[in-house]
Amino acid sequence: MSEPLRVLIIDDYEKDAQLLIRALRKEGLEPYAERICTAPAMERALGSGSWDVAISDCHMPEFSVEGALALWQRELADRPFIVVSGAIGEEEAVALLKAGAHDFVKKSNLARLVPAIRRELRDAADRQARKSAEEALRQSEMRRCQLQTELNCAAEMQKLLLPQAPLFLPGFEIAASCFPARQVGGDFYDWYETMPGIVTITFGDVMGKGLAAAMLMTTVRASLRAVTLRVQPSLAIKLAEQSLQHDLNSSESFVTLFLARLNVEASLLTYVDCGHGYAFLRRKDGRVEELLPRGLPLGISSAENYQEGGCVFEPGDALVVYSDGVIDAMPEADHGMIASRLAGAPDAREMVARIAALAPPGIPLTDDLTVLVVRKS
């Protein structure tokens, strides 16, 4: 099967053009050829079609090979331009090659023509492939930089959503830290006074990691803030689940939550555990009290209502809440092991630091790691 080739022949003799066409066909090419011999004709030809190669005579009465080469380079610089001539000096040939011609073939040796064309077409294809690859790499790097900028902004915004200043509570300390496995994550914590002496404490873990989890986390946090102002935790959870139902269903995600209300004067903690489970009360003497009951995560359909639990703080007691990133970092960790690590810790901040230190240093986190501690002085 012949190989098609679109050839622009720049020659003032039709017979010479036919010789070139026969030489191409002899080597298995099927040329679609057009012969021109003036600058206006070449401009029309270049404007009306896409050419694979130009074959130009060196000496023409109305058109110079230098002019033809300049027009070709203006439109199709990446395609081969082959000079074919019966008589040309060495200096002239070298000058044309330096000006951009790809090869020179004597009319007495047309057997070189097709190999030269094929070689130059391969080289042109390689150049185009490299150019395309470089452009794709440049575009990819631009997208990566843009995404990195967006992630940096998202990470900064997520940090700003976490409590920025300690909450001073008579007789209590509260501290927390969050270490996303990526720049942004789905873990969050929050605390704020809903009324004098009443503090709402939220700890959540959105299924997944990265930007999608972080976006859903922002929505969950905003919904909880809107519904926890003057209602008990169980009702707040019910209202939040109703408002979040569409987002959770469309994202096919769920959220584990620990939502608590602390009455500072009474040292009473009322809470709802929505499938979180990683929360306990460490008594001053090191004993661990499980915080029951527990319900399902938000986003998991259930006809059951969320049940509240409660506990009373004594001096030295601490509420400890952590994400499953702690377990991923140290699979053997449990409430008892974590509680034992807190012996002798002078304050809530030190307790948080000790739990976070369970993650082996130098090893990237596989999941977001978040810890919150509320301690009665």
Q: Note if the bond before 293 is cis, omega within 30 degrees.
A: yes
- Examine the domain organization and report whether 109 and 186 are in the same domain: no
Domain containing 285 — which CATH number? 3.60.40.10
Domain containing 90 — which CATH number? 3.40.50.2300
Residue 147 included in any domain: no
- Examine the domain organization and report whether 78 and 166 are in the same domain: no
Which tens digits make up the pLDDT trace of 356-366? 999 988 888 88
Residue 142 has pLDDT above 70, yes or no: yes
pLDDT band at residue 108 under the 50/70/90 scheme: confident
- Examine the domain organization and report whether 204 and 332 are in the same domain: yes
pLDDT of residue 355: 96
Distance of CA 344 to the CA centre of its chain: 43
Residue 141 included in any domain: no
pTM: 0.66
User: What is the rounded distance in angstroms from the CA atom of residue 116 to the CA atom of residue 122?
Assistant: 10
Which of the residue ranges 138-142, 164-168, 371-375 has the most confident prediction, judged by mean pLDDT?
371-375
pLDDT of residue 372: 98
Residue 257 included in any domain: yes
Which tens digits make up the pLDDT trace of 212-251? 777 888 888 989 999 887 789 999 999 998 889 888 888 8
pLDDT of residue 107: 87
- Examine the domain organization and report whether 125 and 166 are in the same domain: no
More confident residue, 147 or 225: 225
Residue 276 has pLDDT above 80, yes or no: yes
Residue 232 included in any domain: yes
Residue 204 included in any domain: yes
pLDDT band at residue 44 under the 50/70/90 scheme: very high
Residue 262 has pLDDT above 90, yes or no: yes
Distance of CA 188 to the CA centre of its chain: 22
Identify each DSSP E strand in the chain by its residue range. Answer: 3-10, 29-36, 53-56, 81-85, 103-106, 172-179, 187-195, 198-206, 255-263, 268-274, 279-282, 288-290, 294-295, 309-312, 318-322, 369-376
pLDDT of residue 2: 74
Section 323-347 average pLDDT: 94
User: What is the rounded distance in angstroms from the CA atom of residue 310 to the CA atom of residue 30?
Assistant: 88
More confident residue, 159 or 178: 178
Contacts of 15 (CB under 8 A, 6+ apart): none
pLDDT of residue 236: 92
Residue 175 has pLDDT above 80, yes or no: yes
Section 162-169 average pLDDT: 86
Residue 343 has pLDDT above 70, yes or no: yes
Between 75-79, 184-188, 267-271, 275-279, the lowest mean confidence (pLDDT) is in 184-188
Phi, psi of 210 (to 5 degrees): 80, -160
Residue 154 has pLDDT above 70, yes or no: no
What's the whole-number average pLDDT of the chain? 90
Residue 372 included in any domain: yes
- Examine the domain organization and report whether 342 and 203 are in the same domain: yes
Residue 333 has pLDDT above 70, yes or no: yes
Residue 1 has pLDDT above 80, yes or no: no
pLDDT of residue 266: 97
Q: How many domains, the chain?
A: 2
User: What is the rounded distance in angstroms from the CA atom of residue 147 to the CA atom of residue 210?
Assistant: 12
Contacts of 318 (CB under 8 A, 6+ apart): 281, 282, 342, 348, 351, 373, 374, 375, 376
pLDDT of residue 209: 67
Residue 138 included in any domain: no
- Examine the domain organization and report whether 121 and 174 are in the same domain: no
Between 83-87, 118-122, 130-134, 201-205, the lowest mean confidence (pLDDT) is in 83-87
- Examine the domain organization and report whether 211 and 117 are in the same domain: no
- Examine the domain organization and report whether 167 and 308 are in the same domain: yes
Section 280-307 average pLDDT: 91
- Examine the domain organization and report whether 68 and 200 are in the same domain: no
User: What is the rounded distance in angstroms from the CA atom of residue 331 to the CA atom of residue 318?
Assistant: 23
Residue 183 has pLDDT above 70, yes or no: no
User: What is the rounded distance in angstroms from the CA atom of residue 122 to the CA atom of residue 276?
Assistant: 63
> 187 pairs with which residues across the strands?
205
Contacts of 12 (CB under 8 A, 6+ apart): 37, 57, 60, 61, 62, 63
- Examine the domain organization and report whether 228 and 125 are in the same domain: no
pLDDT of residue 155: 67
pLDDT of residue 92: 84
The answer to whether the beta carbons of residues 353 and 370 sit under 8 Å apart is no
Q: Which two tokens stand for residue 264?
A: 């500072």
More confident residue, 370 or 186: 370
Instruction: List the domain range (segments joined by +) for residue 366.
Output: 162-376
- Examine the domain organization and report whether 120 and 175 are in the same domain: no
Residue 31 has pLDDT above 70, yes or no: yes
Q: Which two tokens stand for residue 33?
A: 């050829």
pLDDT of residue 228: 86
Domain boundary among 91, 110, 131: 131
Section 108-113 average pLDDT: 90
SS3 of 52, please? coil
Residue 134 has pLDDT above 70, yes or no: yes
Residue 5 has pLDDT above 90, yes or no: yes
Residue 331 included in any domain: yes
- Examine the domain organization and report whether 58 and 197 are in the same domain: no
